[in-house]
Amino acid sequence: MNRSEYKQMLTLKYFYEEKLQEIKKKHKSDPDLCHPIGKDRYCLYCEKYQEIQDKLQPTLKQLMQYEKTHEVKQPVIQQLAAVPKKEKAKPKKVYQVYSLLFKDGSEYLVYTFAQETGCRLLGRQISELSKAVPISKEYYSSIYLEQEDGSIISVEARLQEHSTKKSWLLAEKQQTRIKATGNCFNEKPFEYLKYTKGQYSCLVTFCGNTAIKKTKKFSKNGKVAFETARGMIALEYGQVLLKLFPGTFMVISEQEFSEYFVEDESLVWMKKE
């Protein structure tokens, strides 16, 4: 590597580092993501972050190799050495509301930092738990609790009355005394597409005005990505795409689809000889 090539490589290093910072910023600003950047193989941001990291590392090695035999200003070797190693800190307890459903059918809303802690709070074993669903903070204002006098209060308002650094029970699901909750049904059947090889054009038609982007894994498993008003969605062969209503989609497995949905029957005339 000569001096000119070293400068070009250095420019490439800065470019990769800027891209990494942009992805980290977008990842951090997404309210639906709570995992560390680069740690979720199903996250599109993490996938892109790792791709750039894979390009940056050999670039750094080449720069440092050149610096071993040449004198340069602000060598990369010293810059990396100056970065202090972060000590592993204890995981921070993140409190939020969990919906805990047990195998006996009982269900509770618990404010805690882990489902195991919620079970202990209720005097139950983790083995009794059927499902634990963390509820996003954006829904706290639209979930209501019925009080003893028949009045209702939102989860958001209820949380303001208690400590935010202590686990406690919000509510138990019981038969309501007022019709504040119930089952609702969609008047129009949901449209779906079973995404398999050779159906990309059908997918484009199905999604309408939603722009679809082929990922680097498209040739392998047909993986595509598209951004909706509710965030980024990824889809690959063998999955089912549900259109809940215009512009709002959900990706589920074929097993989930067959378990929770009933398909309409398509009847055709079959020619007889």
Structure tokens that stand for 199 in this block? 């159906």
Residues 205-246: tens digit of each pLDDT: 998 888 899 999 999 999 999 888 778 899 999 999 998 888
Residues 80-90: tens digit of each pLDDT: 555 555 556 66
- Domain extents for the chain? 3-81, 96-172, 191-260
In 3D space, the residue among 101, 144, 136, 93 whose CA is nearest the CA of residue 119 turns out to be 101
Per the CB < 8 A criterion, the answer to whether 215 and 233 are in contact is: no
d(CA 116, CA 113): 9
User: Is 0.75 surpassed by the pTM of this model?
Assistant: no
Write out the DSSP string of 171-218: EE----SSSS------SSPPEEEEE-TT-HHHHHHHHTTS--EE-TTH
Residues 163-200: tens digit of each pLDDT: 778 888 988 887 555 555 566 777 778 889 999 998 89
d(CA 90, CA 193): 44
d(CA 197, CA 32): 30
Using CB atoms within 10 Å of the CB of residue 146, give its burial: 0 to 12 exposed, 13 to 18 middle, 19+ buried.
middle
The residues, ordered by sequence, that sit 6+ positions from 43 with a Cβ below 8 Å of its Cβ are 27, 33, 35
Tokens 């001096």 appear where? 3
